[in-house]
């Protein structure tokens, strides 16, 4: 289990929160990830937070470089945690990815892995993930669209039309908000 | 109220001035005061003197690589209103390594005590239930056992310091009967002996100390008698005793005017009665200005008499306190890791009740315990 990138510490139907094994080492914003236990759940990282492990203790300023801190205040890295929030996109149902909320959320303490290129390709084969982002409250939707599209494009090396297809989908989803659509498309270039 | 406080502060500063002057004067002929202190019989704890009193030891250079080890404990005392008579002691482990191989290990481990041999102790030949006093002493012993385990489990023993929160003088055992006292003291001294064999200095750190040992030595110096016997004081008829002008001061006040940040005082010998049992581990102490306050540092005799170990304690305690913004970071973390909060206590007893129910074991709590949990209107 050395290659896991997180462990589920809070689990819900619409998404889950995972703790990174080391401080500051969360998967990047917009990454496609999956859980391992039970029926795997797929999702997108939309928030990464590093802070104190204990609610009553707040990180303080030390006026030191990161290297100095590691040398002279090594305990602080044991007292911090990095957690990332994941928006659920779908789950594995009889060997096939279903673009719907999983009947059961991932079990607490499931490990989280970064999706393989094949999984990323499957998750982005349709525009369902874009719709999931746009219809989710409390996620930075536009930036998540951009990051996830760029990530999917990297995984789909040979798919030249991918961005065009997704752009068309976006223009449908955002047909009532031209300014927003234009902003997303401009930032994708 | 403010005026009274102000008057008191003015009076205090006069006393501190006088104490500082005495410190300087007595340092010129410290051997004489040392002898007088040795021969006198007072009702207070008086610092043993083996060097000029006003020595200021500058901050030694800190080794680039070092390890600070510490442990602290916290407990859930037995509650006779709860379902089972048991208690818990949580002991923390802190290993902070600095320099090239920097790293930190923070953790804690609880121990549950429920057997008869844990719940009862022998006190003056009688078998009595372990109360808060007994459990606290047991906890102190466990903390030192843990630090020793950490020393043994740590690869690099050079430049290592073992730090404990509070005094190394187990004065609470003074009033205990010999059977109980030996039960704590013998293993405690054995642990100190192991530290000595490993050449790892152990130090007790006291923040904001209220001790007056050095002031008391100066009071002995102020006494016009050749040797002071307080219970035969010939000056009780006078409006003010000759030793009174600096009474009420603590050593902290005095050394705050003597030491700059990083500097440490001379090393003094504690005269606590319990130390008669300590032998080679007799406790000595010094004061250090850590920048934010004057702290008292206690070390066993073999550290006090070893220049290298004493310098190491001096510089590492200062560094630890700087890192902890005024309080040694390893001790602060040891506390944080060990602490058992009221919420944890409630959870602990509710877990026990749950486990009993799951095992079909009748749970009976006192009506008082019940009434506290479910207060009616």
pLDDT tens sequence across B77-114: 988 887 788 999 999 999 999 998 999 999 999 999 99
User: Under an 8 A CB cutoff, do A71 and B99 touch?
Assistant: yes
Helix H or strand E encompassing B44: none
Closest residue in A to B325 (Cα) is A62
**CB under 8 Å to A182, separation ≥6 — which residues?**
none
Return the residue in A75, A77, A81 with the most chain B beta carbons within 10 A, the one to mutate for interface testing.
Answer: A75
Decide which of B337 and B352 is more confident. Answer: B337
Chain A residues 83-122 with CB within 8 Å of chain B: none
| In the predicted structure, residue B285 carries a pLDDT above the cut 60 | yes
Contact B106 A75 (CB under 8 A): yes
pLDDT at B157 over 70: no
Model confidence at B155, pLDDT cuts 50, 70, 90, reads confident
Q: Coil, strand or helix: which one is B184?
A: helix
pLDDT category of residue A1 using cuts at 50, 70 and 90: low
Name the helix (H) or strand (E) containing B289.
strand B283-289
- ipTM exceeding 0.85, yes/no: no
Please judge whether B98 and A74 are an interchain contact, meaning their C-beta atoms are less than 8 angstroms apart: yes
Q: What is the pLDDT of residue B72?
A: 97
pLDDT, position A20: 97
Nearest to B102 among A57, A74, A79 (CB): A74
Instruction: Kindly state the average pLDDT of the residues A58-78.
Output: 93
The pTM for the full model equals 0.86
- Backbone angles phi and psi of B216, in degrees to 5: -65, -35
Cross-chain CB nearest to A75 (options B99, B100, B333)? B333
List the one residue out of A82, A84, A98 whose CA is nearest residue A41: A98
Site from A56, A74, A80 to mutate, B interface, most B CB atoms within 10 angstroms: A74
Q: pLDDT class for A2, splitting at 50, 70, 90?
A: low
E strands of A65-161, at which residues? 80-93, 96-98, 111-114
Mean pLDDT for B50-66 is 95
Selected residue of B104, B108, B328 to mutate for chain A interface (largest A Cβ count, 10 A): B104
Most confident of B2-11, B220-229, B281-290, B367-376: B281-290
Distance of CA A13 to the CA centre of its chain: 15
Stronger pLDDT, B342 or B281, i.e. the higher one: B281
**Closest to B105 (Cα-Cα) out of A79, A69, A65:** A79
Which two tokens mark B137? 């002493």
Which residues of A fall within a CB distance of 8 Å from B98? 71-72, 74
Q: Please judge whether A74 and B336 are an interchain contact, meaning their C-beta atoms are less than 8 angstroms apart.
A: no
What pLDDT is attached to residue B258? 94
Chain B contact for A179, CB < 8 A? no
Strand locations in B99-235 (E): 103-113, 120-123, 126-129, 160-165, 202-206
């Amino acid at each position: 289990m050395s290659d896991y990138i997180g462990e589920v510490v809070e689990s819900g139907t619409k998404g889950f929160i995972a703790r990174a094994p080391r401080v500051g080492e969360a998967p990047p914003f917009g990454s496609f990830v999956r859980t391992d236990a039970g029926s795997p759940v797929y999702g997108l990282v939309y928030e990464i937070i590093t802070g104190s492990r204990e609610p009553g203790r707040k990180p303080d300023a030390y006026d030191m470089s990161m290297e100095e801190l590691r040398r002279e205040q090594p305990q602080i890295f044991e007292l911090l945690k990095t957690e990332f929030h994941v928006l659920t996109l779908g789950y594995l149902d009889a060997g096939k990815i279903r673009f719907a909320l999983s009947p059961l959320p991932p079990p607490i303490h499931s490990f989280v892995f970064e999706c393989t290129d094949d999984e990323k390709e499957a998750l982005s084969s349709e525009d369902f993930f874009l719709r999931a982002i746009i219809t989710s409250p409390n996620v930075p939707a536009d930036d998540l669209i951009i990051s996830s599209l760029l990530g999917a494009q990297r995984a789909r090396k040979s798919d030249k039309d991918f961005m065009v297809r997704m752009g068309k989908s976006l223009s449908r989803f955002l047909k009532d908000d031209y300014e927003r659509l234009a902003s997303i498309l401009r930032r994708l270039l | 109220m403010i005026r009274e406080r102000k008057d008191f502060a003015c009076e205090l500063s006069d006393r501190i001035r006088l104490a500082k002057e005495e410190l300087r004067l007595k340092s010129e002929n410290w051997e004489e005061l040392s002898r007088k202190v040795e021969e006198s019989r007072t009702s207070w704890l008086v610092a043993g003197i083996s060097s000029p009193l006003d020595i200021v030891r500058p901050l030694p250079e800190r080794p680039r690589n070092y390890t600070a080890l510490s442990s602290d404990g916290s407990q859930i005392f037995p509650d006779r209103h709860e379902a089972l008579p048991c208690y818990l002691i949580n002991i923390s482990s802190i290993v902070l390594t600095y320099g090239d191989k920097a790293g930190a290990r923070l953790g804690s481990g609880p121990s549950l005590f429920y057997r008869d041999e844990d719940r009862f102790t022998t006190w003056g030949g009688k078998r009595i239930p372990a109360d808060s006093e007994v459990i606290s002493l047991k906890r102190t012993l466990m903390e030192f056992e843990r630090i020793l385990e950490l020393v043994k489990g740590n690869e690099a023993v050079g430049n290592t310091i073992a730090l404990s929160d509070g005094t190394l003088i187990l004065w609470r055992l003074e009033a205990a009967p010999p059977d109980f006292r030996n039960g704590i003291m013998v293993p405690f001294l054995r642990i100190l002996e192991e530290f000595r064999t490993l050449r790892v200095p152990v130090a007790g750190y006291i923040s904001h100390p209220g001790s007056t040992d050095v002031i008391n030595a100066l009071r002995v110096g102020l006494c016009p008698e050749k040797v002071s016997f307080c219970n035969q004081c010939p000056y009780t008829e006078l409006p003010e005793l000759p030793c009174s002008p600096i009474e009420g001061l603590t050593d902290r006040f005095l050394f705050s005017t003597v030491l700059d940040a990083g500097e440490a005082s001379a090393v003094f010998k504690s005269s606590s009665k319990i130390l008669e049992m300590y032998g080679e581990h007799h406790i000595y102490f010094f004061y250090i200005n850590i920048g934010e306050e004057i702290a008292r540092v206690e070390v066993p005799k073999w550290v006090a008499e070893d220049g290298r170990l004493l310098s190491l304690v001096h510089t590492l305690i200062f560094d630890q306190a700087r890192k902890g913004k005024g309080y040694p970071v390893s001790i602060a973390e040891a506390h944080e890791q060990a602490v058992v909060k009221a919420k944890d206590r409630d959870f602990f007893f509710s877990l026990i009740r749950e486990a009993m129910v799951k095992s079909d074991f009748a749970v009976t709590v006192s009506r008082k315990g019940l009434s506290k949990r479910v207060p009616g209107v």
